[in-house]
Structure 1
């Protein structure tokens, strides 16, 4: 076992380090974090509009007055992500970041059709469809953001800029410096849009959605790829690397797109198309005490174990663990690099996630609606908010006891070791 873990660490840690330092993955992570407080505001509005005890008349009134809170945030999440990619990538290259973000967003809008078919089939022109600014436009937005950011910094770093005299105000000088790079970048995207429209009679939104986004989203919504991603989260954490950041930087575009598609269906009163979404992965994994669902572990250490060391670690980790911060137990027990508890550490989240998936697939518990719940919201409350049903919280209670049962024999083994060590210390 030790040789296997050493071999795995030697192979995995360099790869994880490279992924963690990759400029495109870190840029994507930062872009989604830029959108996070805005989508959280929209999620609060959606929760308020759809509380289960409201009558249909009350919901209609709330939709009238609160609907724009969601339309202006979650429904156009791609807008914030595109701007964030252009901004973060420009900042990485040490060029004027605000103009990089603005150019990326304008490039995305150049590729976006300003027309759509209404519900009754009429063609509406001079307007943007919300779905192209949300779930449906997510992947073309990310691709555009990265390409626009690279083109903009390329032209800036080649010094294709207009330099103003020293006496000119800085804001004006920066604006003129960005002029030529912005015009060149936007011109490239305009030419691309013209070529696609003229020769293929379509638009890049539909091409990317059909060829790239739908297959990837379909793959990411399956239970097997999800379990593989979760497995790597746990393994990376075992070696002391932040598994969530590394794996989520790859999977977040897919899980967030699934979340937005669920939200659109939920607003329309249609069946939810997906079980696995960003809220599913956060609320029913991280939202149960942090990575590895360790709230049950912390409570077992604090109240079911006998050694002084176990009790102290459990009680110190209990407060943070309630709010899904579990570094105290990860490094205090420790879980990191502790081969004794490797099996439950990896096995418990995989078993619970599989159970949750099939329980929701069977319709016993509703799937998450697409509302984004802050990861620090405690267990049961976050389950209810994510699913808009008390059954979401009840499922987490079941999950809690499953994790506890899986971990208990291994915790007793650790506890016996601690008791023996404390007895030896007392004799000395």
Structure 2
């Protein structure tokens, strides 16, 4: 047996069991599948942003080649039609992720996935950054609705998914309605007590956190956890390591990108979306904060 064959067999004994456990671990699978489900919306936003600045902008690459600016003098006005697309994709990614991760966990436990996801959204906003009051008017920052709120979204979703699923399957906490009651109403009342408990839980958590960090959980988590991981994601060595691990798993017959997807997406999503937002604002990738 050659040295390479021995090495391959040794790596299979070590990495294959670990990779299989990662793929079957419910939290990692829930996060991975959530990012996969969000992908079409983010991709659609990216494509429309590309069209907006490459085709509809008179200074765009394609517009210059085809002389679209001369053919359509008011071409730039069409950009206003597609400019809000970011508000419905990357700028609300944390909301999408918190719903989908909690929903995926509820599906794993065979509980009401829709109501679990909705409860997670409510919990996310309970611990969201406090409103700013200016002249008796309350303003909510949108800073943590996008990529910067991903870690809190994942944490809230996991807690909600776990607690909701365990409480919802307890017969003592179920409110059973008569058969004459419409199914949607009966479905809502069935998990009413678990939803109330989770709401109270996150209210208490939010109160305790604001005693330590007045700016709220999002600011605390971003400063302590997400920002360092973001720096890791923009480091060339991290990219190389994740790439090597992914390709090594392929060699061993394991779907490498799928296995490391939860870790990879969590680290790289914010820099990628920051670049996309930069392009949407400036019409060019030149000078993007995280060049490839």
CA distance in 1, matches of 2:143, 2:79: 18
Other-structure match for 1:80: 96
Residues 101 and 154, structure 2, Cα contact 8 Å, conserved in 1: yes
Which of 58, 61, 64 does residue 55 from structure 1 map onto?
Answer: 58
Residues 34 and 81, structure 1, Cα contact 8 Å, conserved in 2: no
CA distance in 1, matches of 2:124, 2:77: 34
Superposition map of 1:7-406 within 5 A: 7-51=10-54, 54-55=57-58, 61-113=77-129, 115=131, 126-159=138-171, 160-269=173-282, 271-275=287-291, 367=292
**Aligned length, in residue pairs:** 272
* 81 and 200 in structure 1: CA distance in 2 versus 1, 3 angstrom threshold: closer
Residues 90 and 147, structure 2, Cα contact 8 Å, conserved in 1: no
* 32 and 59 in structure 1: CA distance in 2 versus 1, 3 angstrom threshold: farther
* 193 and 82 in structure 1: CA distance in 2 versus 1, 3 angstrom threshold: same
- Which one has the largest radius of gyration? 1
* 6 and 162 in structure 1: CA distance in 2 versus 1, 3 angstrom threshold: same
* 125 and 7 in structure 1: CA distance in 2 versus 1, 3 angstrom threshold: farther
Residues 132 and 138, structure 2, Cα contact 8 Å, conserved in 1: no
Residues 49 and 59, structure 1, Cα contact 8 Å, conserved in 2: no
* 198 and 176 in structure 1: CA distance in 2 versus 1, 3 angstrom threshold: same
CA distance in 2, matches of 1:69, 1:124: 31
CA distance in 1, matches of 2:75, 2:128: 32
Other-structure match for 2:65: none
CA distance in 2, matches of 1:98, 1:66: 30
Residues 56 and 75, structure 2, Cα contact 8 Å, conserved in 1: no
Once the two structures are TM-superposed, the CA of residue 123 in structure 1 deviates from its matched residue by 8.3
Deviation by residue 1:332-373 (Cα, 9 ceiling, x = unmatched): xxxxxxxxxxxxxxxxxxxxxxxxxxxxxxxxxxx4xxxxxx
TM-score by length of 1: 0.60
Once the two structures are TM-superposed, the CA of residue 124 in structure 1 deviates from its matched residue by 9.5
Q: CA RMSD in A?
A: 2.3
Structure number with higher relative contact order (C-alpha < 8 Å, ≥ 6 residues apart): 2
Once the two structures are TM-superposed, the CA of residue 52 in structure 1 deviates from its matched residue by 6.6
CA distance in 2, matches of 1:44, 1:115: 33
CA distance in 2, matches of 1:179, 1:69: 35
* 201 and 231 in structure 1: CA distance in 2 versus 1, 3 angstrom threshold: same
CA distance in 1, matches of 2:132, 2:33: 31
Residues 45 and 70, structure 1, Cα contact 8 Å, conserved in 2: no
Q: Secondary structure at the match of 1:274?
A: coil
Q: Secondary structure at the match of 2:54?
A: coil
**Tell me, which stretches of 5 or more residues in structure 1 are unaligned?**
276-366, 368-428
